[in-house]
Chains A and B, each alone.
Chain A
Amino acid sequence: MNRFYRIPRQWLVLLLCWTSLGVYAQEEVKLAPVTRTYAITNVNIIQGPGRKVDMGTVIIRNGIIQNVGKNLAIPADAVVIKADSMYVYAGFIDGYSRVGVTKPKEEPNRERPKDPGNPEPAQAGITPQNDVRASLNPADKTVEDLRALGFTTAQVVPYGGMLPGSAAIVQLGGNSANDMVLVGNSAFYSELTPAQRVYPNTVIGVMSKYRELYRQASQAKAYESLYASNRAGLERPVSDKILEAFYPVIDKRVAVLFKAERNLDINRVILLQKDLGFNVVLGDVKEGWDMINKVKASNAKVFLSLDLPEVVKEEKKDDKKEESKKPVDAEKEALEKRKAEAVAQYTAQASVFQKAGVTFGFSTASAKTKDIPANLRRMIAAGLTEDQALAALTTTPAQWLGIADRVGTVDNGKLANLVITDKPYFNEKSKVRYVFVDGVLHKYEVKEEKKADAKNGNGKKADPNGKWSYTTETPQGNSTGVIKIKNDGGNYSGTITNSMSGQETELNSIVVDGNSLTFTFGFNAGGGTMTIEVSLTIDGNDFEGTMSVGSFGSFPMKGSKDPNQ
């Protein structure tokens, strides 16, 4: 800690007083910081995409970036963060998610709907009058988790059905719901999600209802203005909070933020948009690469999903067995290949959008938080440049959300939303060290990385070499035998012998990874050969794991090394 903080001596005294006083006075209450002035020194400042200041200083005062540059005077009241050779970026902006939004307790309504065709609006998921600001919680764990990745701002939406309510742009910090809010009513949030058990119960029902509500709202709005201009002889318009919620959308003062993950969702949202004419933002797009021209034509703003499908693990090929490959293996291989190609398409989506000249932001709505940095790196490996990724995390969403004057770059006068990392953010080994939200500092301790071979219990890489005796438990009783494995310069070979039959069978696809050992072997089951897959974890001279026998299931297997070998 001392390494990074250079606190002027006169402040140290004061600091001590403050702390002790604070502790005596109010134990439970969070303390106000000693100072709201910080100087981040000797840091690589990435002010924005393509704008870099080497070894400069960023000065923050009262939640605002006061100065950015080289050779700046450090204010006397500043806490100095010696960010030597670190990197500072503008805090990232999540275009669409539910971070910090309290999930309503699901009330399992098992009551049989009396007339499913005419439900109450709320039961049908029609609550556009709701506001996400009513369910914000800065202490929600999602806030802390996303902030730890460098996100400082997010556009968040309420939970619900087809029309959950209005979105808000929030800061990922603060002590109260009100502290969080940067902009209220930032978007009219919509989904194509059908209602449960009642109308609209299908996507065609949802789309039809959406059109009807929108047109009814347009009609009601037009009548209200007619009535306002001259009331004589006109019936009084009836107030309807659901239809009134559409008015800002009809006026194009607020855009519709639509969840649109799949290709087909995007098409359906654009169908509605063409029919009704609202301004649209597509949220959490995962499968949009074939829809780019449509997206362009619709003038939609796009938040691409930071969720990606998992990488297909490549199976190690056994060249010796190539000739005896069965047709079913070839088919399986072809299917795996197509699956891998599909994963690659998802991963390349961002760069395909970029190349097509469609700018985009990112959304974390359905991404696993811990996967986000790796997913960004995968997108970059698939052709997105680091600057483009940074723009999608900062400047583009700032502009689209109408907050570019306050966030998105490291510039004088902007909110002190910053992320500081020890290596460039998109480097695999990069760690977030500090995050500022509204000038409030959040620190992250870096754990010492374990050595790779420390995985094993006794500090060594597992050594499968040798003779092992094993036991498996199957419904037919326990079975025992011997496994012999030979390491020939990294190439493993081996056999398995069942003590009942005495039959020795060769092992295939032996893979040793850290302390895990996997292999397969063939089992002659009357007429056909069945492949048995074994997956074991070695701990010193013992192993434990499972043996999978096709559709018969998998059974526990354990064993130990013969000490004489």
Chain B
Amino acid sequence: MKKIIITLLILASVSLVQAQVERGNVLIKGGTVLTVTKGTLENTDVLVRDGKISQIGKGIAAPSGFRVIDAAGMFVMPGIIDAHSHAGIDAINEATAPVTAEVFTGDAVNPFQVGLYRALAGGVTSIHAMHGSANAIGGECETLKLRYGVKDPEAMKMEGAPRTIKFALGENPTRVHGSGNGIVPRTRMGVEFVIREAFSQGKAYMEAWDAYNKAKVQKGFRGTPPAYNKRLETMADILRGNIIIHCHSYRADEIYMLLNVCKDFGIKRLVFQHVNEGFKVAPELAAYGAGASVFSDWWAYKFEVYYSTAYNAAILTKNGVTTSINSDDGELMRHLYHEAGKTQKYGQLTDDEALALITINPAKQLGIDSRVGSIEVGKEADIAIFKNHPLSVYTIPMITIVDGIVRFDREKDADDQRIYVDPKQTIDVTLHTSTGHDHESCMQGAVYETAKLFGFNLLEK
């Protein structure tokens, strides 16, 4: 009985801690429903009750109090999920050490960035707000739901989403730490060493704690606990299988290297990010069960990204790799449906295969596919409604719904969708100036800081 009470108390306190998620009721009438996982349903209604899809069918009557959206002639698809983003957070790179597993982007969520609304206006409902790629092992990342309009940063977090962590291989970590600070890693070999060393230390830490906790309960035990270390604690949690690795990578050799490292340490949950040379190791990725999250056709911004092809996503898909297309960029994030559409030109993917790249597949990579990523009864009502087929160049996102709440409405929203306004800003009539396309927000903070501090010209790609 006591145990039950304690459990109840814990449950109560957990629910107190978690932010209240706003959930809506809505009926989407008569659209072409692109379920992604269960085919396409013409002239079909989707009923959303309390934030979840409760019924899909024809001629569903609207319960009283439900908002009705007339989607006749429109396309209703699952909300787009971006598996690689740096939006919605105030800090991206803790670029001061090659391993910073202990930091967490979820500590720096900023729900007021208007870029999040712009993403909603591109049909995006969830993003993976990642640590940057300055370090071989960066920090833990946060999966956000774009409940734009909430003022509590905690309410942006996708409650219960699995923990993920950013790793990075190749030029970025070697440049920041090797070239920048003269410490390991300076080479690709060094990156492998840093990762293996961190795992080995994490393993020793885990074993020391396990041994201590086991000994502690013995009668008459006298001893010293191992010193608490948040970095090693996180490494241990990866080894325990509690955290999914998302690794920034380009070259086939280093992708294969990390597969071997993970194999050696018994780590199964692994997704590669960017993976421009993924097409060279597609069978190996598929065999390991590792995912790949790629750009449709973005490359050549630095030496290691020259060997690339627009067929990458299609080749990976055809080889059975769970593949997604991501943005890593505030602008690209607004038209991921176009990015997915490119795979039909370069690789002849079917509509469902192409749409899966930006819905159910990224959901699988983030471990949230039982909740979002397709239109199925019981799933959370994260839905995007388009005029014209979303894979057409003529498509226009009209309404985006998160948890049954309309968060973007092309017709009804105000011009100025900012939540907080800086009371000190000066309002001038300014001419738009372009500083060119700035790639890789992955390196935000790191490149600039390093360049500024040490006088290296690192700003070139």
Contacts and interface: CB of A to CB of B under 8 A. Distances in A.
A297 B108 CA distance: 21
Contact of B98 (A114, A117, A197): A117
Nearest to A271: B107
Nearest to A312: B423
Contacts of B197: none
A359 B445 CA distance: 39
Contacts of A346: 423
A272 to B, nearest CB: 9
Contacts of B93: 202
A309 interface: yes
Contacts of B97: 116-118, 199
A201 B445 CA distance: 10
Given A216-B228, A309-B424, A328 B429 contact: yes
Given A234-B222, A267-B153, A338-B418, A212 B228 contact: yes
A204 B142 CA distance: 12
A263 B425 CA distance: 18
A115 to B, nearest CB: 6
Interface string B371-399: 00000000000000000000000000000
Interface string A198-218: 111111110110011001100
Contact of B230 (A215, A294, A332): A215
A82 interface: no
Interface residues of A, number: 55
B427 A264 contact: no
B122 interface: no
Interface in B205-253: 222-225, 227-230
Contacts of A310: 423-424
Contacts of A207: 103-104, 107-108
B401 interface: no
Contact of B103 (A204, A235, A274): A204
Contact of B425 (A199, A223, A267, A339): A339
Contact of A297 (B16, B225, B422, B449): B16
Contacts of B16: 297
B94 A232 contact: no
Nearest to A207: B107
A244 interface: no
A406 interface: no
B103 A202 contact: yes
A491 to B, nearest CB: 27
Contact of A290 (B95, B100, B102, B151): B151
A549 to B, nearest CB: 13
B331 interface: no
A118 B102 CA distance: 14
Nearest to A294: B152
Interface residues of B, number: 53
A142 to B, nearest CB: 23
A211 B230 contact: yes
Contact of A332 (B223, B427, B453, B454): B427
A113 B16 CA distance: 43
B103 A208 contact: yes
A1 to B, nearest CB: 44
B429 A212 contact: no
Contact of B427 (A211, A233, A339): A339
Contacts of A454: none
Contact of B107 (A263, A268, A287, A291): A268
B96 A264 contact: no
Contacts of B222: 232-234
B96 A212 contact: no
A205 B103 contact: yes
A47 B413 CA distance: 53
B22 interface: no
A216 B422 CA distance: 39
A232 B91 CA distance: 47
A542 interface: no
| Prevailing SS type, chain B contact patch | loop
A155 to B, nearest CB: 27
B423 A290 contact: no
Given A197-B453, A342-B422, A223 B102 contact: no
A507 to B, nearest CB: 20
A341 B102 contact: no
A47 B348 CA distance: 83
Contacts of A338: 416, 418, 421
B431 interface: yes
B9 interface: no
B154 interface: yes
A223 B181 CA distance: 37
Interface in B49-105: 90-98, 100, 102-105
A235 B224 contact: yes
Nearest to A286: B423
Contacts of A342: 420-423
A533 to B, nearest CB: 12
Contact of A343 (B227, B423, B431, B453): B423
Interface in A315-335: 328, 331-332, 334-335
Contacts of A205: 91, 94, 96, 100, 103
Contact of A201 (B96, B108, B223): B96
Q: Which one of A201, A202, A294, A341 has the highest number of Cβ atoms from chain B below 10 Å of its Cβ?
A: A202
Nearest to B183: A115
Given A117-B97, A201-B95, A212-B102, A267 B154 contact: yes
A233 B220 CA distance: 11
A336 interface: yes
B6 interface: no
A296 B104 CA distance: 26
A208 B102 contact: yes
Contacts of A232: 222
A9 interface: no
A202 B96 CA distance: 9
A10 interface: no
B94 A201 contact: yes
Contacts of A197: 96, 449, 453
A201 to B, nearest CB: 5
Contacts of A118: 97
A199 B94 contact: yes
Contact of A203 (B91, B229, B230, B429): B91
B230 A264 contact: no
A334 B415 contact: yes
A203 B418 contact: no
Contacts of A212: 102, 228-230
A542 B154 CA distance: 61
A474 interface: no
Most chain A CB inside 10 Å of its own CB: which residue of B91, B154, B182, B449:
B91
6 contacts: A114-B181, A116-B96, A203-B107, A216-B227, A219-B227, A267-B153
Interface of B: 16-17, 90-98, 100, 102-105, 107-108, 110, 112, 131, 139, 151-154, 181-183, 222-225, 227-230, 415-416, 418, 420-425, 427, 429, 431, 445, 449, 453-454
**Closest 7 pairs between A and B when the two form their complex, measured CB to CB:** A117-B97, A309-B423, A202-B91, A342-B421, A290-B151, A199-B96, A233-B222
Given A112-B454, A216-B228, 10 more contacts: A205-B96, A207-B107, A212-B228, A219-B227, A271-B154, A287-B420, A290-B151, A291-B152, A346-B423, A551-B431
Interface of A: 112-118, 197-205, 207-208, 211-212, 215-216, 219, 223, 232-235, 263-264, 267-268, 271, 274, 287, 290-291, 294, 297, 309-310, 312, 328, 331-332, 334-336, 338-339, 341-343, 346, 551
